[in-house]
Structure formats: structure tokens, C-alpha cells
Amino acid sequence: MAGKNYKSSFEKVDHSKLYDYKEALALAKSLSTTKFDSSVEASFVLNVDPRQAEQNIRGAMVLPNGTGKTQKVLVITQGAKEEEAKAAGADFVGGKDMIDEISRGWFGFDIIVATPDMMGQLGKLGKVLGPKGLMPNPKTGTVTMDVTKAIDEIKKGKVEYRVDRDGNINVLVGKTSFSEEQLAENYKALYDVIVKARPNTVKGTYLKSVTVSTTMGPGIKVSVD
């Protein structure tokens, strides 16, 4: 059945056309056939070489309308910062005890925020956390002494963007339950950040293409300014 639905949705997209981003998002939303609240994602293909440090684009931002997804936050810290993290709404807080839990295979969280003093201990789990994209990083604001701000931003709808080895960035911009305006605002905010992140060493075209899609939905090509 899913195959039939996908085929029907696929045929409603003009794959030779570059859609205005508002039109593309409205179409993606209308073509979603899942019974659950599907994610809406934007995929950017960039003319960058991630092996060069300057072109290894990575960062984070808070989407204007959030992500529609509740993130469970684990804060790795110690001392007074533990109480601060609890007061700020962290789902799990601890130091060595939590690191030990992860080493035993516990992954009941979506994102880790750590204070710099704990990174030495947490770094030992690099081979476990790295491949899952869970290792905290100063570039994304998840290694910080300001745990209150970090938790607040994540709960409001912070997303991370990171170029993969092929030069692609895929980011959640909302859910199909969002209004067309909310999706458009989130997409535009993300698009502006990606464009602004253009490395000085990139020659020629930077943004090759952008596609938006929903979970199990067809890709819709978006025009690039």
C-alpha cells in the first residue's frame, strides 16, 4: 500500500521543475500519506570538500517555530551545575554515573550537553557516541558552562546541521502538522544560515541543489537564489 501511495505522490510532482520554497513545502505537506505526523526535511547539496577544515560546515540554530519534536536532554556535569541543569528542565543529569550508564549501553536520550570539565571523561566514549552523532561539540553549543541556555534552546527547537562526507546537509524543518507558513519560516531561516556559512575557499557555485521531502514522500526540488 505504501508503494502505491508513494507512486501516486511521486506522479504529482513535476520533477523537471524547480519549485519556489513555499510552493515546494506546501506540496510536500499535501502529498504526505503516512498515518503519523511525518517529519519534513530539507536536503542541501553543497560544492564543498569536508576533508578541508574550513569547508567542514557544522553548527546549530533554533528554528523560529521549533521542530515539533520533543528532545530528551542529558546533561553531563558536576557540582552546582547539576542543580542548574535540573532547574532548567534537563531530562537526565549526572556525571561519572551517567557516563558509566552509557558505557553499559544506555541511550534513553536524544542529545547530550556537557560542561567542559567533563569532556575528558566523556571523550573516552568517542567510539560509541561519535558514530551516533551524540558527542557534544562547542560548535553546536553543546559543550558549555551555560547549561541553562543550552537546554532552553534545545527545548525550543534547536537543530544541528553538519555536512557529510559527500557534501550534503540534511535537516529537519518541522512536521506535516505545521502550517505552510510555519514550515516556510523554518526553511527560510535554515536556508539563510547555510548560505551564510559559505567558506571563503569555495570557488564557483556553492549551493548545488536543495530538495524538500516528508517521511516516505517524494523529493521536491527547490529553486536556489
Same domain, 60 and 164: yes
Same domain, 152 and 170: no
- Position 9 scores a pLDDT of 77
Same domain, 169 and 148: no
Which residue range forms the structural domain that includes residue 40? 15-67+158-222
Q: How many degrees, rounded to 5, is the angle at CA 195 between CA 189 and CA 197?
A: 105
For residue 1, the number of C-alpha atoms closer than 13 Å in the C-beta half-sphere is: 3
Q: What is the rounded CA–CA span in Å between residue 26 and residue 45?
A: 21
Q: How many domains, the chain?
A: 2
Has residue 172 been placed in a domain? Answer: yes
Same domain, 80 and 36: no
Closest CA to 90 of 58, 61, 114, 106: 114
Same domain, 184 and 139: no
Q: What is the rounded CA–CA span in Å between residue 195 and residue 20?
A: 17
Closest CA to 47 of 39, 57, 38: 57
Same domain, 77 and 142: yes
Kindly give the confidence (pLDDT) of every residue in the chain, 225 residues in length, as a single tens digit, with 9 standing for 90 and above: 457 777 777 787 888 899 999 999 999 998 887 888 899 999 999 999 999 999 999 999 999 999 998 899 999 999 999 999 999 999 999 999 999 999 999 999 999 999 999 999 999 999 999 999 899 999 899 999 999 999 999 999 999 999 999 999 999 999 999 999 999 999 999 999 999 999 999 999 999 999 999 988 889 999 987
Residue 127, judged by CB atoms within 10 A of its CB (0-12, 13-18, 19+), counts as: exposed
Other C-beta atoms lying within 10 Å of the C-beta of residue 223: 13
Same domain, 104 and 130: yes
Strand-pair category, 207-214 with 220-222: antiparallel
Residue 114, domain CATH: 3.40.50.790
- Position 197 scores a pLDDT of 94
Domain boundary pick from 129, 156, 183:
156
- Position 8 scores a pLDDT of 75
**62 contacts 158 by C-beta, under 8 angstroms:** yes
Q: What is the rounded CA–CA span in Å between residue 222 and residue 99?
A: 42
Same domain, 217 and 162: yes
Same domain, 91 and 142: yes
Q: What is the rounded CA–CA span in Å between residue 48 and residue 133?
A: 20
Has residue 150 been placed in a domain? Answer: yes
Q: What is the rounded CA–CA span in Å between residue 9 and residue 12?
A: 5
